[in-house]
Chain A
Amino acid sequence: MRIGIRIWISLFLVKMRELKKQFPGQQADEKTVLLARVHWFKFAGNLLFAFVLVLMWFVAWALIDQYLPTLLQGMWGNIWILFSFLYFLFVALFLYIGWLNYYLDVWILTNDRLIDIDQKGLFNRSVSQLSLGQVQNIKAEIKGFLPVLLRFGNVDVETAGAEVGRFSFRNIPKPFEVEEKVLILVEDFFKRKKREQDQITKKENYAS
């Protein structure tokens, strides 16, 4: 029974991991190598602000209770309670929208391309794609005290196309590891293309 549950849980986790590596528009032979988001530190600001807002309510409640207790009784008390409900609803909404902005901002690295999904607000989303064959130069950097401490920074991918110019991943965790992964994938990409080209040439030669 226990073994059965364990197997079921591990199968479920594997399935979840596979699902996490899927994204809309993914091709059949395309494998997700890396799915990176902005470092959690960037969301921590929202979290801290929400915490301060909740704390402010408690401080206000304590102060009113201490100096103006009549404000918590009768009709004023009713209004205070209704205001509190609204206040907490809006704090939750603020936190939720902040989390969405953080979580829906994704950089995907596959064996074929780089995808930058940029979420700004609820209805502003841009998706940029770059074939690994266009990559010319990669630069990773960690600047500042907190980025060094928490290991997050920027990765700039310079491209051959004049229109695309530079592909920037901002504030991602472990930028040097990402840089290395991109380099390895670019090499693999060119090797694969060369192999495919050789096979085509062989077939053409064989046919003729």
Chain B
Amino acid sequence: MIIPVIIYIIFLIIYLIFASFAIFSARRFGFVGDATKYVTIIFILFGLTLIIISGVYILGANWNQDLDLTIFS
């Protein structure tokens, strides 16, 4: 049951595309010495932390289980 991981990766790629657009825009339009640089660094660090943690979680979790659909009934 690896489908959730594939969906996660697809959304992660979409996220990375938008994030790189935003960072590119910040670098291009931010002034020298203004807060853009620091906020961008915080944004990148936050994103990287979550991506690394989720990667470790994906590698460690057991994905060979079936989805129990009876819980909604």
A residues apposed to B, CB below 8 Å: 16, 19-20, 22-24, 68, 70-71, 74-76, 78-79, 81-82, 85-86, 88-90, 92-93, 96-97, 99-100, 103-104, 106, 119, 122-123, 125
Contacts and interface: CB of A to CB of B under 8 A. Distances in A.
Interface of B: 1, 4-5, 8, 11-12, 15, 18-19, 21-22, 25-26, 29-36, 39-40, 43, 46-47, 50-51, 53-54, 57-58, 61-63, 65-68, 71
Nearest to A86: B11
A90 B15 contact: yes
Contact of A93 (B15, B35, B39, B54): B15
B33 A85 contact: no
Contacts of B25: 100, 104, 122-123
A186 B51 CA distance: 53
Contacts of B15: 86, 89-90, 93
B47 A76 contact: no
A81 B4 CA distance: 11
A33 B60 CA distance: 57
B46 A86 contact: no
